[in-house]
Structure 1
Amino acid sequence: MQSFRSLVQQFEQRVSAPDLFPVHPQNLYDPCRYLLSLGGKRIRPVVCLMAHELFAPIKEEAWNAALAIELFHNFTLIHDDIMDKAPLRRGFPTIHAKYGLTAGILGGDAMSIYAYQALSRVTTNFREVLDVFNTTAIQVCDGQQMDMDFESRNDVSSEEYIEMISLKTSVLLAASLKIGALVAGADTQAAEALYAFGKHLGIAFQLQDDYLDAFGTSKIGKQVGGDILANKKTYLHIQAVDHAASTQLASIEAWQDRHDAPEQKVTAMLDIFRDTQADEKCREAVAYYSGKAFEKLSEVSIPEDKKANLHSLAKDLLYREQ
């Protein structure tokens, strides 16, 4: 079984291939190349390959499935950045900031189409793979809309938040694992168990990300407390509101309307998170969903040593400190 790092290196060669996109028109394809050149963890395409290798040696159509997943993921990033009016992605200017709004819209559209072109080169269980891919694409859009809707709401529940991050974030990770297994010819039970593993892992990962944004010692590429300053309805925020006394609730509402004292705002909100035990509830949720993830991975009926790399990657994602 190949390591995550080894598969990342091999995948980078494919995603950076000069013939991945046409040369012309430059104003369409240069932005696409630019975004892919910024890197990223490549978690989704590589777990697709790792899931595939649980059942069969990696073949060309598995690489194409992984490429389709990464192209689709980057397409969503382009359009998310436009909706969020984000100036930076991975520490560099976003496509719409660097090349303009038209390039962002068209570049994202083109990348989504190239994702389907890569997927069309899959032959094993193609109808099932296409169904998973299409369902996931719709779910990601659903999750993004929910996230946008939450910005204007003050009554978001924990259940709604879990549903949103499941759709926006975790289903693509889950689909990556399931697609990798299907392309390898795995049976339905194994593919479904890997999907559930990825879904629970993705939820736990996002909850851990919420926690680290507030309480992490450092955050590469992101400002510590950035979610607080942006008034994001994270799991921590929702739990704090749900368990706040009247004076604490008034303080939360007052700080939401203030933008003149960022350091004091972060400090005050962290104190409220601790006092309402929102921090503990977030850690408990991470433990719950990570436990469910590892439980599902254990249900995949192959030798445990074959699953060691996936298990190790999951632990690295969940127990990181930044």
Structure 2
Amino acid sequence: MLNANEILQKVNECLDIISRGREPETLYEPIRYVLSIGGKRIRPVLMMLTYELFRDDPEQIMMPACAIETYHNYTLLHDDLMDNADLRRGHQTVHKKWDANTAILSGDSMLVLAYQRMAQCAPDKLKPVLDLFSQTALEIGEGQQYDMDFEHRNDVTEAEYIEMIRLKTSVLLACSMKIGAILADAPAGDAENLYKFGEQVGLAFQLQDDYLDVYGDPSVFGKAIGGDIVSNKKTYMLINAMNRADEKQRARLSGWIDAREFDAGEKIAAVRALYDEIGIDRLAQEKINYYFEQSRKYIDAVNVAEERKAELMSYVSRMMKRNY
């Protein structure tokens, strides 16, 4: 068995050679660049740690694990293009470093590479693995479209937002874990409970990301604070602030949302102060805790000795900065 750090190292080694030897260089250099600029590799680590709940040879599923990370980075590459983002993990995005056409074509090729690598699983597992992977890929596209649609709506509900982040973020974590279980010959009930565990953790993880964008320490969070506020992104926090504000608070919040010209620092401070007044910080923490606690029910139901769950639980606890 491997621990999470050992898995991370082996995943990075595999990703380093994922498109080696293919031409033209102008197509594959951006792919290698995207895969080389870091990232926590949460999804492949979760897949392999889940596999280890049932078996002791996680390197047998290295290619499917690298497939899930390649797919994840493909979605980020295209997200950056759609958002016209300048930076990803402190580095230039592909469409800025090269151009939009390169980003589209290299991203499309990453998707094909992901499917090629996922197909290198055990032949008897090929259909259930590809069925789940394909269903997840469709759901992520649906979540991205909802996110784009929400930019043009002022009536997004909390339930709609939760469903959007479930599709856009949670299902890939859940898919990673269930594929790990399928490849390890886990019982169907355990595989489904692990999917649900990943889904609930994913919801908590995204809501925590929303929270940290407002209240996090930039040196720890890894990026500037307040980006969601500046862009009026429909997050759990903004949606609930609008729904729970009194008339005066809603007018102040709407003023900042509708403002065409503003100082970013002033807007962030003002909206954060409104969140504090309305109690959104506490509400968000309660919702994060809710999904985190929900996840416990599903991992507890997995019929595996607690000692075999220890590394997975330790990893998820670090990822969420919480204790199980």
**TM-score, normalisation: structure 2:** 0.95
For residues 253-286 of structure 1, what are the alpha-carbon distances to aligned partners after superposition, in whole Å with 9 as ceiling and x for unaligned?
A: 1101334221221111111111111111111110
Correspondence for 1:268: 270
Q: Distance in 2 between matches of 1:264 and 1:28?
A: 43
Correspondence for 2:7: 7
Correspondence for 1:216: 216
Correspondence for 1:246: 247
Q: Distance in 1 between matches of 2:37 and 2:97?
A: 13
Name the count of aligned residue pairs: 319
Given that residues 61 and 121 in structure 1 are in contact (C-alpha distance below 8 angstroms), is that contact kept between their aligned partners in structure 2?
no
Question: Which structure 2 residues correspond to residues 62-101 of structure 1 after superposition, within 5 A?
Answer: 62-101=61-100
For residues 229-261 of structure 1, what are the alpha-carbon distances to aligned partners after superposition, in whole Å with 9 as ceiling and x for unaligned?
A: 111111111110110011111111110133422
Shift of 1:294: 1.6
- More off after superposition, 111-120 vs 212-221: 212-221
Given that residues 200 and 291 in structure 2 are in contact (C-alpha distance below 8 angstroms), is that contact kept between their aligned partners in structure 1?
yes
Given that residues 214 and 225 in structure 1 are in contact (C-alpha distance below 8 angstroms), is that contact kept between their aligned partners in structure 2?
yes
Q: Distance in 1 between matches of 2:283 and 2:20?
A: 46
Q: Distance in 1 between matches of 2:53 and 2:161?
A: 33
Cα distance, 1:20–1:58 mapped onto 2, change above 3 Å: farther
Q: Distance in 2 between matches of 1:263 and 1:100?
A: 31
For residues 105-148 of structure 1, what are the alpha-carbon distances to aligned partners after superposition, in whole Å with 9 as ceiling and x for unaligned?
A: 00000000011111111124221111110110000000000011
Shift of 1:59: 5.0
For residues 167-197 of structure 1, what are the alpha-carbon distances to aligned partners after superposition, in whole Å with 9 as ceiling and x for unaligned?
A: 0001000000000110111111011011000
Given that residues 22 and 29 in structure 1 are in contact (C-alpha distance below 8 angstroms), is that contact kept between their aligned partners in structure 2?
no
Q: Distance in 1 between matches of 2:242 and 2:321?
A: 26
SS in structure 2 at match of 1:125: helix
Q: Distance in 2 between matches of 1:206 and 1:175?
A: 16
Q: Distance in 1 between matches of 2:20 and 2:27?
A: 10
Given that residues 140 and 168 in structure 1 are in contact (C-alpha distance below 8 angstroms), is that contact kept between their aligned partners in structure 2?
yes
Correspondence for 1:307: 309
Given that residues 150 and 233 in structure 1 are in contact (C-alpha distance below 8 angstroms), is that contact kept between their aligned partners in structure 2?
yes
- More off after superposition, 257-266 vs 1-10: 257-266
Q: Distance in 2 between matches of 1:302 and 1:97?
A: 47
SS in structure 2 at match of 1:260: coil
Match of 2:279 among 274, 277, 280: 277
Q: Distance in 1 between matches of 2:5 and 2:143?
A: 30
Letter of the structure 2 residue corresponding to residue 168 of structure 1: K
Q: Distance in 1 between matches of 2:247 and 2:205?
A: 31
Cα distance, 1:60–1:6 mapped onto 2, change above 3 Å: closer
SS in structure 2 at match of 1:222: coil
Letter of the structure 2 residue corresponding to residue 234 of structure 1: T
Q: Distance in 1 between matches of 2:177 and 2:183?
A: 10
- Is 1:293 the counterpart of 2:269? The answer is no
Q: Distance in 2 between matches of 1:24 and 1:128?
A: 32
Letter of the structure 2 residue corresponding to residue 158 of structure 1: E
Shift of 1:60: 5.1
Letter of the structure 2 residue corresponding to residue 222 of structure 1: K
Q: Distance in 1 between matches of 2:265 and 2:29?
A: 39
Given that residues 61 and 183 in structure 1 are in contact (C-alpha distance below 8 angstroms), is that contact kept between their aligned partners in structure 2?
no
Q: Distance in 2 between matches of 1:254 and 1:22?
A: 55
Q: Distance in 2 between matches of 1:308 and 1:20?
A: 34
Q: Distance in 1 between matches of 2:86 and 2:100?
A: 12
Question: Which structure 2 residues correspond to residues 193-232 of structure 1 after superposition, within 5 A?
Answer: 193-218=193-218, 219-232=220-233
Q: Distance in 2 between matches of 1:122 and 1:197?
A: 23
Letter of the structure 2 residue corresponding to residue 270 of structure 1: R
SS in structure 2 at match of 1:55: coil
Correspondence for 2:175: 175
Q: Distance in 2 between matches of 1:58 and 1:36?
A: 25
Correspondence for 2:256: 255
Letter of the structure 1 residue corresponding to residue 103 of structure 2: G
Q: Distance in 1 between matches of 2:319 and 2:120?
A: 31
- More off after superposition, 44-53 vs 261-270: 261-270
Q: Distance in 1 between matches of 2:20 and 2:297?
A: 41
- More off after superposition, 216-225 vs 156-165: 216-225
Unpaired runs of 5+ in structure 1?
none
- More off after superposition, 181-190 vs 310-319: 310-319
**TM-score, normalisation: structure 1:** 0.96
CA RMSD of aligned residues (A): 1.3
Unpaired runs of 5+ in structure 2?
none
